[in-house]
């Protein structure tokens, strides 16, 4: 693991040292505290730098999932009222895939871990597969122009239940370089019907460290946006 100083991380992000410290203290940026100083995980920082630049707030979870519903062919009314749905639909027509990816980042809280082979098997039964794990389905992998992923140590999916209990039970070790990605959905949102859809898999692939997977996610998401 490569660690950066707060100053180095702030320079790469184009923000103040104070902003980086706040991200570390609030747990929004994987970091390690040594004495009085914070050190930032370089790989986690690289993922943040890849996000599309933009100003303004990212969407609340309800809005993010309503946008996913609209791109999936739904009407979003289970999440937002009709006036907000109309405004959201109009906004979607103006977005690129990277912009949509940034705005929808609050759909779930991602956590990365190292896990034992036994824990990875158990996770596969608990999580709703997404991202690279969803590509085990040949039909879905074909739509993304990628080969089905079989026998991979990587596990990625959504959790709708108690995250802390799962982490404790399976003894998951937090790591920005971990092969396991758990996306924990806020308890006040229920996107069950949307998990595993092409839209969600595309958004999650855009978080990948693999260039081909990111490109495939972006291409599919751009196509979905053009259909709105």
pLDDT per residue, tens digit, the chain (228 aa), is 678 898 988 888 788 889 888 888 877 777 888 888 898 888 778 777 776 566 568 899 999 999 999 999 999 999 999 999 999 999 999 999 999 999 999 999 888 888 898 999 999 889 999 999 999 889 999 999 998 766 678 899 999 989 999 999 999 988 878 899 999 998 888 999 999 999 999 999 999 988 999 999 999 999 999 999
Q: Flag whether 75 is in a domain.
A: no
Quick one: which of 185, 187, 115, 129 has its CA closest to 157? 129
Domain of 28 in residue numbering reads as 3-50
Q: So what's the pLDDT on residue 150?
A: 66
The span from the CA of 147 to the CA of 139, in Å, is 10
Q: What is the CATH number of the domain that holds 31?
A: 1.10.10
Q: Flag whether 71 is in a domain.
A: no
Q: So what's the pLDDT on residue 3?
A: 82
| The residue to which tokens 């709708």 are assigned | 160
Q: Flag whether 201 is in a domain.
A: yes
Residues 41 and 117 in one domain: no
The length of the chain in residues reads 228
Q: Flag whether 219 is in a domain.
A: no
């Amino acid at each position: 693991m490569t660690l950066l100083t707060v100053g180095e991380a702030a320079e790469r992000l184009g923000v103040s040292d104070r902003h980086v410290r706040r991200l570390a203290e609030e747990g929004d940026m994987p970091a390690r505290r040594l004495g009085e100083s914070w050190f930032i995980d370089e790989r986690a920082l690289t993922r943040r730098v890849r996000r599309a630049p933009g100003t303004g707030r990212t969407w609340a979870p309800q809005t993010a999932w309503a946008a996913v519903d609209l791109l999936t062919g739904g009407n979003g009314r289970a999440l937002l009222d009709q006036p907000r749905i109309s405004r959201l639909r109009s906004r979607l027509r103006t977005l690129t895939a990277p912009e949509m990816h940034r705005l929808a980042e609050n759909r779930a809280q991602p956590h990365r871990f190292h896990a034992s082979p036994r824990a990875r098997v158990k996770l596969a039964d608990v999580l709703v597969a997404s991202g690279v794990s969803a590509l085990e389905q040949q039909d879905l992998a074909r739509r993304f122009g990628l080969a089905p992923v079989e026998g991979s140590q990587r596990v990625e999916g959504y959790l709708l239940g108690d995250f802390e209990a799962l982490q404790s039970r399976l003894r998951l070790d937090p790591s920005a370089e971990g092969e396991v990605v758990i996306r924990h959905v806020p308890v006040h949102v229920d996107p069950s019907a949307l998990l595993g859809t092409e839209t969600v898999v595309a958004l999650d692939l855009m978080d990948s460290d693999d260039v081909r997977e990111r490109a495939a996610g972006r291409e599919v998401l751009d196509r979905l946006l053009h259909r709105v």
